Chain A
Amino acid sequence: MIDVQPVFLWTDLLLFGLIACIVLAAWRARRSEPMRAAWRRVGESTVGMTSLTILVLFLVVGLLDSLHYRPYLPPAKDGKVTADRGPLSTEVRSALDALAEPLRSRTEKTYSAPLAYVLFAKQTIEKSDGTQQREFPRLKFGGAGLQYPEEDHTGDVLGRIGLGLALAAGAWCLLAGGLVQVVAMSRKVPFGAAWRAVWRGKGGLAWRAVLVTLGLVFLLAGPVAVLAGEYHVFGTDKVGQDVLFLTLKSIRTALVIGTLTTLVTLPLAVALGIMAGYMGGWVDDVIQYVYTVLNSIPGVLLIAAAVLMMQVVIDTHPHWFETAAERADARLLALCLILGMTSWTGLCRLLRGETLKLRELEYVQAARAFGVSTARILSRHVLPNLMHLVLIALVMDFSGLVLAEAVLSYVGIGVDPNTVSFGTMINAARMELAREPMVWWSLMSAFIFMFVLVLAANLFADVVRDAFDPRAS
């Protein structure tokens, strides 16, 4: 059954490329002592390691959801066996879909509350004896194994929570043991000593924060995972899709928007900022003019204008895209590019100002007096001294972009309506609050996941800024 054709969407390639670049940059940064010291400060901070752990967990979910493939349909069953497999499905799936297959495929008819075994609204059901009765119909999948749901439901849920907690505790012990073993080996001390050092938060990286965070996450995720085998833990939405699954799928969209936007921001801001600051004169004037123009257009309107135009381009060229997923992906990538085009100006201005200062420093003037070429001065002396600003700006921008996606999708200029994202979830759930009784679960799960992601990113950004900003004490 592993007979599939991998699909590489543009955003997948760029996302993995970006990760590779970060790993490469980290490898190179090991050689520079100030960079190593700054990262060590991040690693020693409890808040930094806690938020980093959360971010890495989000990243794992997002990367799993970025491994796309197209399954083959089963061969036609009309007698003639011409091939051992059918044509390619037009549906693009991801590794996350395959892992969470039960969540994806078990769709109910419509709304159902978290952990429910009946639908949310009463329906008229025809009994076997011909009479009609209005009652809550049983769900197709949620709690389907319960023989007598009224009596068994609570007990079953509690039992599954207990099992989940036990599994989580076991998994955590294994993981903690492995981690401490690694620490013990790297420091060449016995296991017990390493355990005590980690637990008292002594020496080196803040492993205790990592372990505590992972423990909490496991204790939450364990019961959810076990419950998800039988119930819809976060309920279902209007068309009966599992909300937990939708929330997990939203993570990739948020990560893509938060990271790929930098692909545009970074080259533009760094190249133009350094050019404007170092060369001055008419180059400076032109670049300043360009970013003042871009800045003066209200952000949402510029994005709206660009997205509306891009929508026309995509609509008038349907033959460019083989599947619906590719079209949605093109729109997502275009949104990243547009967000990047509108958000590079702040960093550019910052880098220009900093370059102006660096240009007058003695060692840069000395290099110029020795006849070192401009390109070499910029790459050897100016750029490395700007990297901390670039890094801080990138980490700080991430959370803003994740929040912006939700607002843009609400306005109707965000991701493709078929792409699952926090914004589209909130947008779809907006009307549900007006229902009586209220449908609150999709809205809440989107907001909570978004809050955790943005909070972790904000805290991490603060730690990075404190560690890298030379002005901070």
Chain B
Amino acid sequence: MFAYIVRRLLYAPLILLGVNLLTFALFFVVNTPEDMARMQLGAKRVTPEAIERWKVERGYDKPLLFNAAAAGASSLTDTIFFEKSLRMFAFDFGRADDGRDIATEIRTRMGPSLAIAVPTFILGLFVTVSFALLLVFFRGSYLDFQGVVLCVAMMSISGLFYIIGGQWLVSKVWHLVPISGYGGGLDASRFLVLPVVIGVIAGLGGSARWYRTIFLEEAGKDYVRTARAKGLSELQALFRHVLKNGMIPILTGVVVVIPSLFMGSLISESFFGIPGLGSYTIDAINAQDFPVVRAMVFIGSLLYILGLILTDLSYTLVDPRVKLE
């Protein structure tokens, strides 16, 4: 198993390199820095000097991959690819277009993102599993059917509707919590309740239906029937056997998103005005702040790869039958 993890860890930089090459191609080859300068500077009548100044300010005046003018090793390092893409491996993300240091920005914005993403994740998992288990307890009955219909209807509603509708109902009509904003310390909870609840509700339909099929499959297996035949009540069979074994695919399925919780949630953060990484990303996309988008792509893939490795590990932890080789 140790060898397996080492191999996976060695594979990770290779994938990150691929991600970097892809973003590099998207940002610098499809469109030359020249094009970007022209678009950023806006007007059609930009002078070549202005473009040149824009490129020098941001360090885009170097050759893309190979600098023939420089000597020795710096012919490879004094290039856009090295300066802008490979440097990210050392978590050196450079500066955003407004001159702020991206790495500092990410560190300060991580807190609010986690404050909304972690409760949504834990509460969401708890609520969906409970709901799915309830449906399985009443399986085949009218209640089960209604529950599945509810799930399909809920997953057909746009996530934007939950947010807009929730803000309107809870904040504007009932005046229970502020519409948007964020505060430090305990004051933050006031602002976090609504996004967390809405996040849980928005994700309920799809996941609960999926978990229900997993639990149903488990509940139909022979060992559960044996347990019932031994005289266990339906509740005991559900909690002792079905829940435990059904949680294996569920847990290993959700482990992959745990590291990505750092990235925050794009839409709800920007709707609720929470200064996390999600709204940072949206702002960067809207302002066409390419260095920030590149940095977020890098961090996002790093966290995803971490999630994949954690998934493999969690298999061996919760299911002793699985052996990694």
Where the two chains meet, the residues of A that have a C-beta atom closer than 8 Å to any C-beta of B are 289-290, 292-298, 300-302, 304-306, 308-309, 312-313, 315-316, 399, 403, 406-407, 410-413, 422, 426, 430, 433, 438, 443, 447, 450-451, 454-455, 458-459, 462
Where the two chains meet, the residues of B that have a C-beta atom closer than 8 Å to any C-beta of A are 14-15, 18-19, 22-23, 26-27, 30-31, 35-36, 38-39, 152-153, 155-161, 164, 167-168, 172, 260, 263, 266-267, 281-282, 285-286, 288, 290, 293-294, 296-297, 300-301, 304-305, 308
- Say whether A410 contacts B152, CB under 8 Å: no
Given the interface pairs A293-B19, A308-B288, A316-B39, the reply to whether A410 lies near B267 with Cβ below 8 Å is yes
- Say whether B31 contacts A312, CB under 8 Å: yes
- Say whether B18 contacts A293, CB under 8 Å: yes
Closest 4 CB pairs of A and B: A293-B18, A298-B300, A455-B156, A296-B301
Shortest Cβ distance from residue A337 to the other chain B in the assembled complex, whole angstroms: 13
- 6 A-B pairs with C-beta separation under 8 A: A296-B305, A301-B296, A309-B26, A313-B30, A450-B158, A462-B152
- Say whether B158 contacts A293, CB under 8 Å: no
- Across the interface, name the chain B residue whose C-beta is closest to A293: B18
> In the bound complex, what is the Cα–Cα distance between A411 and B30 (angstroms)?
22
Main secondary structure of the interface of B (DSSP, over half): helix
- Across the interface, name the chain A residue whose C-beta is closest to B28: A309
Chain B residue contacts of A294, Cβ below 8 A = 22
- Say whether A306 contacts B26, CB under 8 Å: yes
Chain A residue contacts of B152, Cβ below 8 A = 455, 458-459, 462
- Say whether B159 contacts A407, CB under 8 Å: yes
Shortest Cβ distance from residue A436 to the other chain B in the assembled complex, whole angstroms: 10
- Say whether B153 contacts A300, CB under 8 Å: no
> In the bound complex, what is the Cα–Cα distance between A413 and B281 (angstroms)?
12
> In the bound complex, what is the Cα–Cα distance between A315 and B23 (angstroms)?
20
Which of the residues A300, A411, A447 comes within 8 Å of B161, measured between beta carbons? A447
- Say whether A305 contacts B293, CB under 8 Å: yes
- Say whether B160 contacts A406, CB under 8 Å: yes
- Say whether B153 contacts A455, CB under 8 Å: yes
Main secondary structure of the interface of A (DSSP, over half): helix
> In the bound complex, what is the Cα–Cα distance between A184 and B167 (angstroms)?
54
Shortest Cβ distance from residue B253 to the other chain A in the assembled complex, whole angstroms: 14
Chain B residue contacts of A316, Cβ below 8 A = 31, 35, 38-39
Which of the residues A297, A438, A450 comes within 8 Å of B22, measured between beta carbons? A297
Shortest Cβ distance from residue A277 to the other chain B in the assembled complex, whole angstroms: 20
Given the interface pairs A308-B293, A412-B285, A443-B164, the reply to whether A289 lies near B27 with Cβ below 8 Å is no
> In the bound complex, what is the Cα–Cα distance between A296 and B22 (angstroms)?
12
Given the interface pairs A293-B22, A313-B30, the reply to whether A433 lies near B160 with Cβ below 8 Å is no
- Say whether B168 contacts A296, CB under 8 Å: no
- Say whether A458 contacts B168, CB under 8 Å: no
Shortest Cβ distance from residue A280 to the other chain B in the assembled complex, whole angstroms: 18
Shortest Cβ distance from residue A83 to the other chain B in the assembled complex, whole angstroms: 34
> In the bound complex, what is the Cα–Cα distance between A51 and B283 (angstroms)?
39
- Across the interface, name the chain A residue whose C-beta is closest to B172: A433
- Say whether B156 contacts A413, CB under 8 Å: no
Shortest Cβ distance from residue B1 to the other chain A in the assembled complex, whole angstroms: 21
Chain A residue contacts of B30, Cβ below 8 A = 309, 313
> In the bound complex, what is the Cα–Cα distance between A315 and B285 (angstroms)?
17
Chain A residue contacts of B23, Cβ below 8 A = 297, 305
Chain A residue contacts of B161, Cβ below 8 A = 447, 451
- Say whether A458 contacts B156, CB under 8 Å: yes
> In the bound complex, what is the Cα–Cα distance between A304 and B295 (angstroms)?
13
- Say whether A403 contacts B285, CB under 8 Å: no
> In the bound complex, what is the Cα–Cα distance between A462 and B155 (angstroms)?
13
Chain B residue contacts of A293, Cβ below 8 A = 15, 18-19, 22, 301
- Say whether A433 contacts B155, CB under 8 Å: no
Chain B residue contacts of A290, Cβ below 8 A = 18
Shortest Cβ distance from residue B2 to the other chain A in the assembled complex, whole angstroms: 22
Given the interface pairs A412-B285, A430-B164, the reply to whether A447 lies near B158 with Cβ below 8 Å is yes
Which of the residues A304, A309, A407, A412 comes within 8 Å of B160, measured between beta carbons? A407
Chain A residue contacts of B304, Cβ below 8 A = 295-298
Which of the residues B158, B290, B305 comes within 8 Å of A406, measured between beta carbons? B158
- Say whether A309 contacts B19, CB under 8 Å: no
Shortest Cβ distance from residue A440 to the other chain B in the assembled complex, whole angstroms: 9
- Say whether B282 contacts A411, CB under 8 Å: yes
Chain A residue contacts of B14, Cβ below 8 A = 289
Chain A residue contacts of B159, Cβ below 8 A = 403, 407
- Say whether B285 contacts A451, CB under 8 Å: no
> In the bound complex, what is the Cα–Cα distance between A410 and B285 (angstroms)?
11
- Sample of 11 more A-B contacts, CB < 8 Å, known A296-B300, A407-B160, A411-B286: A293-B18, A298-B300, A304-B285, A308-B288, A308-B293, A312-B35, A313-B31, A316-B35, A407-B158, A426-B164, A451-B158
- Say whether B300 contacts A297, CB under 8 Å: yes
Given the interface pairs A293-B18, A454-B156, A459-B152, the reply to whether A298 lies near B168 with Cβ below 8 Å is no
Chain B residue contacts of A412, Cβ below 8 A = 285-286
- Say whether B26 contacts A304, CB under 8 Å: no
- Across the interface, name the chain B residue whose C-beta is closest to A305: B26
> In the bound complex, what is the Cα–Cα distance between A403 and B158 (angstroms)?
6
Chain B residue contacts of A447, Cβ below 8 A = 157-158, 161
Chain A residue contacts of B308, Cβ below 8 A = 296
Shortest Cβ distance from residue A437 to the other chain B in the assembled complex, whole angstroms: 12
- Say whether B285 contacts A308, CB under 8 Å: yes
> In the bound complex, what is the Cα–Cα distance between A187 and B38 (angstroms)?
69
> In the bound complex, what is the Cα–Cα distance between A399 and B205 (angstroms)?
14
Chain B residue contacts of A403, Cβ below 8 A = 158-159
- Across the interface, name the chain A residue whose C-beta is closest to B290: A308
Chain B residue contacts of A304, Cβ below 8 A = 285, 293
- Say whether B31 contacts A301, CB under 8 Å: no
> In the bound complex, what is the Cα–Cα distance between A406 and B159 (angstroms)?
9
> In the bound complex, what is the Cα–Cα distance between A438 and B161 (angstroms)?
16
> In the bound complex, what is the Cα–Cα distance between A316 and B164 (angstroms)?
36
Chain B residue contacts of A458, Cβ below 8 A = 152, 155-156
- Across the interface, name the chain B residue whose C-beta is closest to A459: B152
- Say whether A289 contacts B156, CB under 8 Å: no
Shortest Cβ distance from residue A466 to the other chain B in the assembled complex, whole angstroms: 12
> In the bound complex, what is the Cα–Cα distance between A411 and B288 (angstroms)?
12
Q: Which of B156, B167, B285, B293 has the most CB of A within 10 A?
A: B156
- Say whether A426 contacts B15, CB under 8 Å: no
> In the bound complex, what is the Cα–Cα distance between A289 and B26 (angstroms)?
18
- Across the interface, name the chain A residue whose C-beta is closest to B34: A316
- Across the interface, name the chain A residue whose C-beta is closest to B22: A293
> In the bound complex, what is the Cα–Cα distance between A305 and B20 (angstroms)?
13
Chain B residue contacts of A430, Cβ below 8 A = 164
> In the bound complex, what is the Cα–Cα distance between A330 and B31 (angstroms)?
17
> In the bound complex, what is the Cα–Cα distance between A15 and B23 (angstroms)?
30
- Across the interface, name the chain B residue whose C-beta is closest to A302: B297
Shortest Cβ distance from residue B228 to the other chain A in the assembled complex, whole angstroms: 21
Chain B residue contacts of A399, Cβ below 8 A = 156
> In the bound complex, what is the Cα–Cα distance between A451 and B157 (angstroms)?
5
Shortest Cβ distance from residue B84 to the other chain A in the assembled complex, whole angstroms: 14
- Say whether B38 contacts A300, CB under 8 Å: no
Q: Which of A312, A426, A443 has the most CB of B within 10 A?
A: A312
Chain A residue contacts of B18, Cβ below 8 A = 289-290, 293
> In the bound complex, what is the Cα–Cα distance between A411 and B158 (angstroms)?
14
